[in-house]
A and B are shown apart, each in its own frame.
Chain A
Amino acid sequence: MSYEIIGISVLWIFLYGYLIVASIDFGAGFFAFYARATGKDHLINRLISRYLSPVWEITNVFFVFFFIGLIGFFPSAAHYYGSSLLVPGSIAIVLIAIRGSFYAFENYGSKKNIVFLFLYGATGLLIPASLSVALVLSEGGFIMENNGVVTLEYMKLLTSPLAWSIVALAITSVLFISASFLTFYADRADDQPALKLLRGYALFWSTPTIIAAFTAFLYLSQYNARHFQNMMNLWWLLGLSVVFFLIVLWLLYKERRYGWAFMSVMLQFGCAFFAYGIGHYPYILDPYITVQGSATGEAMGIALIAAFIGGLLLLIPSLALVFRLFLFDADYVKGKR
């Protein structure tokens, strides 16, 4: 396998990792605020902050990792995405800055500040919306290059049904993934009232998520026939995704095996995400950047993969330690330590 294929696969796996951990984080922010606004915060906020406090920084690194990896393996991406995303990217930076620092201010500093909590919850939905714009751009047609000057066609983007359906999908998925994880976490903590509330959220958000997914798929078929056709060739992967979704619904409905339910959520999104990604190949930005045409030199590509393997040898045991201490330690989850 050539190094650029390894590169893009690694990046796609990391983006998938970010999708899961960030969704849990972003959704939890929204639920924490929503629960406060509806007077149910005593039920779940302690649970949420117990999980999030040790891991919020790690979530942030996943994003930087994907981003730096992308411009490392494919430097032309910096030219096209960098030039065209100056304004939306800067807005995303501001949102991420507000969210990250206000989380720390609220949790380690001044407790019970409703303004901080509101901004934390609101940015939790705005950030996935703004980041998903990059996925829309990758379909092509929104970025124009004339004489080496790259511009973003804002009007075209803002009036595109594809763009809005992907934004809707991002927001609903965030809430669905987060609610199903927190349901599992509440179950581990043996916290019945929180479990009841969060299970309700998860069941509620499952429907809009699947509707948004089909809508986005429909608009993609109109917008980029090549990508759509490639995905249709991977029909079995999309079918598996639907099967996992049905398993999630069944388990949530039957009120049992929440761990398996969350695993199924991960597999549901994993199948769809990889069908989307493989269908996108060979373009990173249609039609300007392809995987082969824009990869960095071989020496750097191999050095990056070596660094990546070295990094994983360090990270996997460390992440396993985090999971053991904060996710699978029943006493910690229940709040005894």
Chain B
Amino acid sequence: MMIDTVLWSRLVTGLTLSFHVIFATIGVAIPLMIAIAELVGIRKKDHHYTLMAKRWTRGFIISVAVGVVTGTAISLQLALVWPNFMQLAGNVIALPLFMEVFAFFFEAIFLGIYLYTWDRFRNPYLHWLLTIPIVLGASMSAFFITTVNGFMNQPAGFSLVNGQFTAVYPLQAMFNEATPSKVFHVLTSAYMTGAALLAAIAAFSILRKGATDYTKKALKLMMSVLLVFSFLTALAGDTAAKFLAEHQPEKLAAAEWHFETEKGADLIFFGWLNAEREIIGALHIPKALSFLAFSDFNAEVTGLNEFPANEQPPLWIHYLFDFMASIGFILLAISAIFFVFLLWRKRNEYNRWLLRSIVLGAPLAFLAVELGWFYAEVGRQPWIIRGYMRVEEAATTSPSIMPLFFLFLLLYIVLGTLCIIVLRRLFRNNPAEVELEKIAATHAAKVKEEGELQS
């Protein structure tokens, strides 16, 4: 019975977080893209980019709503589903949680202002300035909440006396050793995913209705953002792996199926395990794991057998890691090929196959975000606070958790479906070209009116 409620608790939290992370990623990334598009529009005096910013904002606000309500859900669930965790850890992680709410508050205020002041300022830069607190607020809330997750992975800033955290240093807990690499990876991968999403929408529109100036500009802008951030994400992933090798070797060893401690360890790519834990059908890259972990082909990498069996994470996280890393490199390759074609005149960057792979890139990027989080979280098992509190000590004991899982599943299915329907309706009946004509018409009318006034 105990085990059952623990598993249901994990499933409820996993479900909410998996759903929330889609909208959270959009929430962190899209404001930056909107800010870039609006700024380019102002600087180039090109109303295509301004319209881009407006249309993205309109779609964004729908997804923000779902992000806000699922974020509220997870913040409440922390205490409802994991009451003993919050009672213990609340003494150490309250500060970043509190500051996360401030960041969210800040973003919420300016998002409201931004949405309703498109035509209220004479100087266009004033309206653009409003995007800065939105981008900052979104990224700061990602930062603060990631420090909490960093703490759960790499606890710091307290001493444990009689099962209570005492002598707490809130800032040390926030800036634990896991924080820098995690924040770097979370932010870059979120921006990468946002760019992949908007590039995919532009590519999809070109495939369906042919290229227009508007879609070409949107695609080119987002592909350049994607190129930058897929490169930075790869760099961040490497930093994160090096952190794991040093501080959480069991997580890296489980992900890499690295059982014996050895020098010059191979990197194992995909494959499967037989009953005797022997690896079959995998691609071995000699000494690459040592290089990945310590930038040295002959460095010693700790194996999983060094850890007691009841503290080892499940071995299937190997696939999560491999898929996540592969997708990261695929996205980097797609954006690089796009720019090679763009610069190399003989090739057409609007090649249908390339466009199709850009479209495919968006769901892949979201999949990679999910896989990465699953890897980070399942790889921490059996701990909720690594080394201090096990998951089964933290969960609620109420058997009602089981029906609640289905209640939340139903809720997220409804919200997800409606969100897609509303977004489709918002854009399908109102293509960019129609809006551009409208803008041109009002502009022409204004010029004519001014001309008549002068004459």
Which chain A residues have a beta carbon within 8 Å of chain B's beta carbons? 53-55, 57-58, 60-61, 63-65, 67-69, 71-73, 75-83, 85-87, 89-90, 92-94, 96-105, 108-110, 149-151, 296-297, 299-300, 303-304, 307-308, 310-311, 314-315, 318-319, 321-322, 325-326, 332, 337
Contact = CB atoms under 8 A, between A and B. Distances in A.
Nearest to B90: A75
B447 interface: no
Contacts of A79: 83-84, 86-87
Nearest to A311: B102
Given A104-B61, A307-B99, A55 B86 contact: no
A61 B80 contact: no
B91 A94 contact: no
Contacts of A99: 69
B113 A325 contact: yes
B109 A322 contact: yes
A61 B62 CA distance: 17
Interface string B89-101: 1111011011111
Nearest to A303: B170
Given A100-B68, A101-B65, A299-B170, A89 B80 contact: yes
Contacts of B99: 307, 311
A93 B94 contact: no
Interface range for B: 35 or more
Contact of A97 (B62, B64, B73): B73
A318 B110 contact: yes
7 contacts: A53-B116, A61-B104, A68-B94, A72-B90, A96-B72, A299-B169, A307-B95
Given A299-B170, A311-B99, A104 B64 contact: yes
Contacts of A72: 90, 94-95, 97-98
A54 B320 CA distance: 40
B408 interface: yes
A69 to B, nearest CB: 6
Contacts of A308: 98
A97 B70 contact: yes
**For the complex of A and B, 8 pairs with smallest distance between CB atoms:** A72-B94, A75-B90, A104-B65, A82-B83, A78-B86, A109-B422, A54-B112, A82-B79
B305 interface: no
A307 B113 contact: no
Contacts of B119: 337
A321 B109 CA distance: 9
A100 B408 CA distance: 16
A67 B401 contact: no
A158 B451 CA distance: 73
Contacts of B208: none
In this complex, the member of A73, A83, A89, A325 whose beta carbon has the largest number of chain B beta carbons within 10 angstroms is A83
Nearest to B421: A110
A87 B77 CA distance: 11
Nearest to A93: B73
Nearest to B114: A54
A315 B98 contact: no
A102 to B, nearest CB: 8
B376 interface: no
Nearest to A78: B86
Interface stretch (B211-219, B249-257, B344-352, B411-419): B411-419
B47 to A, nearest CB: 21
Interface in B90-139: 90-92, 94-95, 97-102, 104-106, 108-113, 115-117, 119-120, 133
Contacts of A296: 90-91, 94, 168
B398 interface: yes
A105 B422 contact: yes
A310 B144 CA distance: 15
B396 interface: yes
A107 B109 CA distance: 18
Contacts of A73: 94
Nearest to B170: A303
A108 B398 contact: no
B407 A322 contact: no
A97 B101 contact: no
A86 B87 contact: no
Contact of B65 (A80, A92, A100): A100
Contacts of A54: 112-113, 115-116
Given A54-B113, A58-B108, A318-B110, A104 B62 contact: yes
A90 B74 CA distance: 10
Contacts of B83: 78-80, 82-83, 150
B94 A321 contact: no
Contacts of B102: 307, 310-311, 314-315
Contact of B79 (A81, A299, A310): A81
A300 B94 contact: yes
B58 interface: yes
A260 B101 CA distance: 32
A77 B83 CA distance: 9
B317 interface: no
A149 B86 CA distance: 15
A41 B278 CA distance: 70
